[in-house]
Amino acid sequence: MVPEDRLCQVLTASFGNDLEPAAEALVRLANESGGNDNITLALLRVGGPSRDSG
């Protein structure tokens, strides 16, 4: 329901290391765009610093 260019805008915006704001924005956009069924979203960060200190 969300156009690909809008998805790219949200995903490339500066959300720092937290994916939750991006997820919330995408779900909101899907609802506003006429989502008429369940909305499923999965975000995965690939690469970057490891949180494992040992």
What are the pLDDT digits (tens) for 1-44? Answer: 788 999 888 888 866 778 888 899 999 998 888 867 788 889 88
Q: How far from each other are the two terminal CA atoms of the chain, in whole angstroms?
A: 43
User: Is residue 21 within a helix (H) or strand (E), and if so which, with residue range?
Assistant: helix 20-32
HSE on the CB side for 52, CA within 13 Å?
A: 1
Contact yes or no for 41/21 (Cβ under 8 A): no
Return the pLDDT at 47.
73
Q: For residue 21, which phi and psi values (nearest 5 degrees)?
A: -60, -35
Task: In whole angstroms, give the CA distance from residue 33 to residue 26.
Answer: 10
